[in-house]
Amino acid sequence: MAVVGGGSTAIDAARTAMRLGAAEVNLVYRRTREEMPAQPLEVEEAEQEGLKLHLLVNPIRIVGNGRVEGLELVRQSLGEFDESARRRPQPIANSEFVLPVDIVLAAIGQSSDVACVEKCGVECNRNTTVKVDNKLVTARAGVFAAGDVVLGPATIIEAVAQGNNVAQTVDTYLRTGEPLSKESWLAYDKVPLTYKMEDYAEATRAEMPVQDPVVRRSNWREVELGFSEDACREECKRCLRCDLEEKESAKP
């Protein structure tokens, strides 16, 4: 079978298909591996389970006689940068070929269904996200929004961060009738450090223990086995040190 797409949904669909017994799962994506929106680790884990990646190819039609027998693909090269700051894929002439598959799953183009909120006076953008100001306030008084419906398809951590912020806005609004200013969010987040960040400047990311690829391919248990409490605490102390690169590059 073939899964079309390069995001989290495509990877999940492919890994689920393997667990349901698909003999061979191919993932086709029109850009390069570096540009796949899915998390690199998940792509790697899927490959360890047997996923076959076909990069810089775009589907043009499904071929078959009464049933799916293949997916016709055309090879792509990367051209000019588009509005998403990624180079736009362009078809290479006469590079079509057929990938023999019996099932094609499309896992592209995730969007929010905003029809119901639009009817209630909540303004939306053309890309089906809800319009908010920098306090996550929508066009309708007393209605707030956060997460994918504001950001577009994003990640859990971004949704959690916005959820935290919008909760503070709603709390203040309910108590005072006024939304909290964005600047005040940071004041809520400051927590005194109980250790020296410098001690963790060289610390590297802890490696997550995972189930063996051959075993996990045929079960539904979580792939990641979780950190021990100690590893978890150390991982929380690890500083991202976003300033380090700047300091290093400033050196003569």
Residue ranges that bind ligand FAD, judged by CB under 6 A? 8-9, 12, 116, 147-149, 154-157, 159
Are the beta carbons of 92 and 58 closer than 8 angstroms? no
Element (H, E) at 89: strand 87-99
Q: Give the ranges where 72-155 is alpha helix by DSSP (H).
A: 115-119, 148-151
Q: How far is the CB of 126 from ligand FAD (least distance, A)?
A: 19
CA neighbor of 138 nearest in space, from 125, 122, 149: 122
Give me the residue label for tokens 């400047």. 201
Measured CA to CA in angstroms, residue 102 lies from 7, 19, 23, 40, 105 at distances of 22, 17, 11, 27, 10
Give me the residue label for tokens 């360890």. 48
Which residue has the closest beta carbon to ligand FAD?
147
Q: Which is nearer to ligand FAD, 25 or 73 (CB)?
A: 25
Please state the separation of Cα 83 from the chain's center in Å. 18
